[in-house]
Amino acid sequence: MDLAYLRTHPRQLPLFLTHQRIRETPVSGGDICAANRLTLDDGSSLFAKSWPEGSDADMPEGFFASEAAGLRWLREANAVPVPEVVVALPELLALEWVEPGEPTPEAARRFGAELAALHRAGAPSFGAEWPGFIGSLPQDNTPSDEDWPTWFAHRRLTPYLRRSVDNGALSATEVALVERLISRIDGYGGAEPPARIHGDLWPGNVLWGADGRAWLVDPAAHGGHRETDLAQLTLFGGAPHLDLILDAYQEVWPLADGWRERIPLHQLHLLLVHTALFGATYRNAVAAAARAALSA
């Protein structure tokens, strides 16, 4: 099987894999999926993701279809490079292979400028036309004409706060902090029309390529607030050359006044997703972000 054949016969990929007609090399695929590098007969490679065999959890319906839709939508903006979706099946996703490289200052500056261009491509509404996921959790992408603070509170904070309460990850202290923040969300300013965002842009979802560019992978793409992507880039140690990324971004599309003070507010979405998924390990991070936002 070569790449040209696969493009025209994508449903044949599982059959070829089952009969070991394609070389598979395990690679890092994150915390959720099993991942392999597929080497085809013409020497080309693909990155393939599938639900892990023996997983305690069933694969959510539409999981890979959602990721494929988001990747294609981000790629349509022709801004930040996004791997091409070659095969999108219910049980499997195969993408263009991106050869890893180093996060150079030049790549960081280019990434900042391209990320601003991606955001500026916009979205018809908050949310998206396809059901959403973030990690393995559902994310409500129902298109909405609500203003950004209301939408963010209802669709991106409250659902994961509830999940984090249900699984015992948060105590009454953290819950009270987040609820207080939600009650005040209209006062934070910075409301803008929906941008075209990655939606899960922690530093591990930026793939620094050997081509000298930064590629976007593993999106939870939707129409959202551009400051959410930028705030997520600062989490978990921050992206390499973060100051260069932000400076280049600002040169293309300056951010609204007060954006730095709003970083903890925007971070809170992904931190609550982490307490919903992984439990109390991230409890202190949620509390710190909520306190910082309340004191801004």
Whole-angstrom Cα distance, residue 159 to residue 272? 9
Q: Where are the domains of the chain?
A: 3-96, 105-295
CATH of 3-96, picked from 3.40.50.20, 3.40.50.300, 3.30.499.10, 3.30.200.20, is 3.30.200.20
3-state secondary structure of 174: helix
User: What's the CATH class of domain 105-295?
Assistant: alpha beta
Q: What is the DSSP letter of 135?
A: T
pTM above 0.85, yes or no: yes
Cβ neighbour number for residue 118 with a 10 Å cutoff: 23
Catalytic residue among 166, 186, 200, 229: 200
Whole-angstrom Cα distance, residue 105 to residue 14? 40
Residue 213, C-beta contacts closer than 8 angstroms, at least 6 positions apart:
81, 107, 110, 111, 114
Taking each helix axis from N to C terminus, what angle separates 158-166 and 263-278, rounded to the nearest 10 degrees? 30
Q: What is the DSSP letter of 143?
A: -
pLDDT tens by residue, the chain, 296 residues: 899 999 999 999 999 888 878 899 999 876 789 999 999 999 999 999 999 887 778 899 999 999 999 999 999 999 999 999 999 999 999 999 999 999 999 999 999 999 999 999 999 999 999 999 999 999 999 999 999 999 999 999 999 999 999 999 999 999 999 999 999 999 999 899 999 999 999 999 999 999 999 999 999 999 999 999 999 999 999 999 999 999 999 999 999 999 999 999 999 999 999 999 999 999 999 999 999 999 98
> H/E/C letters for each residue in 99-121?
CECCCCHHHHHHHHHHHHHHHHC
Distance of CA 69 to the CA centre of its chain: 13
pLDDT at 58: 86
CA-CA-CA-CA dihedral for 69, 72, 76, 81, to nearest 10: 140
Give the residue from 145, 224, 158, 222 showing the smallest Cα distance to 185: 158
| Catalytic residue flag (residue 200) | yes
The string over 29-64, giving b where at least 16 C-beta atoms fall within 10 Å of a residue's C-beta and e elsewhere, is beebbebbebebeeeebbbbbbbeeeeeeebeeebb
User: CA 72 → CA 10, 66, 69, 77, 98, distances in Å?
Assistant: 16, 10, 5, 9, 16
